[in-house]
Structure 1
Amino acid sequence: MPARTSYTIFAWTTLAFTLLVIVWGGYVSASGAGDGCGDSWPLCGELLEASTPSTSVDTLVELAHRLTSGLALLAVVALTLWSRRRFRPGHPARYWAAMGLFFMVIESLFGAALVIFQLVDMNVSLARALVQPVHLTNTYLLMGALASAAWWSEPRRPASGMNPPQTTRLVVTALVAVIVVSALGTAASLASTVFPSESFLDGLRSDFSPDAHYLIRLRVWHPVTALGLGVYLFWLSRHLGRQRPQGTPHVVTGIFVTQMGVGLLDAALLAPIGVQMMHLLLAHLMWLSVLALWLDLTSEPAIHTR
């Protein structure tokens, strides 16, 4: 197996660092520190001089997220420029690096909108409920683009054998299903953060109460759709496992089982921040593992990539 180039190592490192920034953003949201800089963006302005301990901590948490987000943006810019020197026009690695930069810019605009329009902290407006799943979808697309850029920077070429169209559709369906389940997860997370329950049973009663806030009543659909996704992923992994006895299909099922366990723990412990962060991390890893199924179907090892 050929040694990985400096570009490939940098591409995978950029992906990993960006994932950590996203998970830290989950902490910012769950802890209420998203309002740490008020409506000041991109800098924190006069709030950097805040005197109250609680405000200063929230400010530092939010500022750290902005600084690391800026570093991630610079890394993706560098990756894109490097790809233009490293690969010919039309090469998949070059294309996906450019798409990664596009989605990173959109991600930055989402971050600015959340701050400027104060869609943070205890805000339960319809605008926030709609923006959050779209924001998460963009982070998935960003991670997918960066993962594809790294994948195609290795010695690969488009698969010479045609995969059955049905197989490709099955994997694409899984990708869409992950987005839908995760989008519902943003509503569940927001409801648990803004409307904390006194106990698991209290939260369960609220889920089915006609007088509960719509976010609370929507929360129950996340585990229901997650179970449906799990059944589909298990079936898909068995289907693809006949073609690839060892590899990605088993990784997908392993991550999903772990994610379900963390999800149950999150609900039982009333959504502690640490478990929420782990849940968010596993959601992105599950998305990337399903994406790897698609990349594996559409590529094969090659000697030359230039």
Structure 2
Amino acid sequence: MSGTLSMPRAAGAWLPRLAWAALAYNVLVILWGAVVRITGAGAGCGDHWPLCNGVVLPQSPELHTVIEFSHRLTSGLSGLLAIGLVALAFQTTPKGHPARFGALLSLGLIILEGLVGGVQVLLGLTADSTDPARGFVQGVHLANTFLLLGALLLTALWASGAPRLRLRAQGLVGAWSGVGLLLLLLLGMAGAVTALGDLLFLPADGSTPLATVKRDFGPAAGLIENLRVVHPMLAVMTSAFLVWLGTFLRRERPGTEVHRWSGALWALIGAQMVAGFANVALKAPGWMQLTHLLLACALWLVTALLVFHALTGLRVRPAAGRA
């Protein structure tokens, strides 16, 4: 195993705490963002951004305004946490420490997250909008969200003394790990489009899933409806690949952490598949969508942890003279 990184005692006490706290907090912000979508409160501040209905602090706001404005406030606090993370990383770690890079990357992705959200509001791609561009923006938003969580995770690991991430000369371990992460990223983007389609087009009657699929490809269906079927198909393919990836990494990079996180990955895949079927069967109630999203975030983070420990571990080679 690669050597761990040393840092001043003060950083060992505060930098990892802030990094892990920022990661957990951003998961909560993501879930609250889903509440904004589910409740249709995305237009609660009108088409104004970063102001809310043209003012800094809305007066006598309605419920949708409260929901949207609170999401903006919690997102703003994410930015402040990221700035604090950068400042603390540069104050307490030596030049060239990877935690500095992780903190800067996290801040950049949080800024991009805010800009994507702002574009969505300014273009009116909120509330009941069925513009196909809304599906594209939702997918980009989710991809950036996953990348942000990954950056915060790396920052927390490096701040805690984990080794640098080496990407060169990783062979098939690096290649297949990259494929797994890319598939998860695409799955999340497709899931964001499907969740949007469920919000806008899911019938309130007792239609069967097959009837819903037929309607999604009917003459009156739009692009967002057409794309809803991609997510479950991609979910099955990605799940099968990740199950294999866990087995592959256990063989190629055996170690305690790889075994631990591959086991966690398999458990989460099972839980997410059950949640996905339940979401369809129950016609995507809000609480089930939040559960599905939380499991998706956990699945992304656990896969990232598995890949990180596989890439920072050394291959165990047979002793000389053995077959």
TM-score by length of 1: 0.90
Q: 2:165–2:308: 8 Å Cα contact kept in structure 1? A: no
Cα deviation for residue 40 of structure 1 reads 1.9
**Cα distance in 1 between the residues matched to 2:91 and 2:182:** 33
The SS at the match of 2:214 is helix
Structure 1 residue 236 corresponds to structure 2 residue 242: no
Which residue in the other structure is 1:257 paired with? 270
1:273-298, CA deviations, whole angstroms, 9 ceiling, x for partnerless residues? 11111111111111111111221123
Q: Which residue of 2 aligns with 1:199?
A: 206
Q: Which residue of 1 aligns with 2:260?
A: 247
The aligned residue for residue 42 of structure 1 is 50
Write the mapping of 1:12-161 to structure 2, written as runs, cut at 5 A.
12-45=20-53, 48-49=58-59, 56-158=62-164
> What RMSD, in angstroms, separates the aligned Cα atoms of the two structures?
2.4
Show CA shifts across 1:54-102 (max 9, x none).
x711011011101111111101110011100111222111101100000
User: Which whole-Å deviations, capped at 9, do the CAs of 1:165-196 have from their partners, x for residues lacking one?
Assistant: 10111111100000111111122111111112
Check 1:300–1:121 CA distance in 2 against 1; reply closer, same or farther (3 A cut). Answer: same
5+ residue gaps in structure 1?
A: 302-306
Unaligned stretches of 5+ residues in structure 2? 315-323
Q: Which residue of 1 aligns with 2:308?
A: 295
Matches within 5 A, 1:165-244: 165-197=171-203, 198-201=205-208, 202-242=211-251, 243-244=254-255
TM-score (norm 2): 0.85
The answer to which of 121-130 and 143-152 deviates more is: 121-130
SS at match of 2:163: strand
Pairing of 1:281-292 with structure 2 (within 5 A)? 281-292=294-305
Residue identity opposite 2:149 in structure 1: M
Number of positions where the alignment pairs a residue of Structure 1 with one of Structure 2:
297
Q: 1:159 to 1:73 in 2, by over 3 A?
A: closer
Alpha-carbon deviation of 1:5? Answer: 2.2
Give how far 1:261 is off: 1.0
- Taking the aligned partners of 2:123 and 2:267, their CA distance within structure 1 comes to 39
The farther-off stretch of 178-187 and 291-300 is 291-300
**Structure 1 position 210, deviation (Å):** 4.8
Structure-1 separation of matches of 2:22 and 2:197: 32
- One-letter identity of the residue aligned with 1:18: N
Deviates more, 1:87-96 or 1:242-251: 242-251
CA 1:142–1:240 in 2, change beyond 3 Å: closer, same or farther? Answer: same
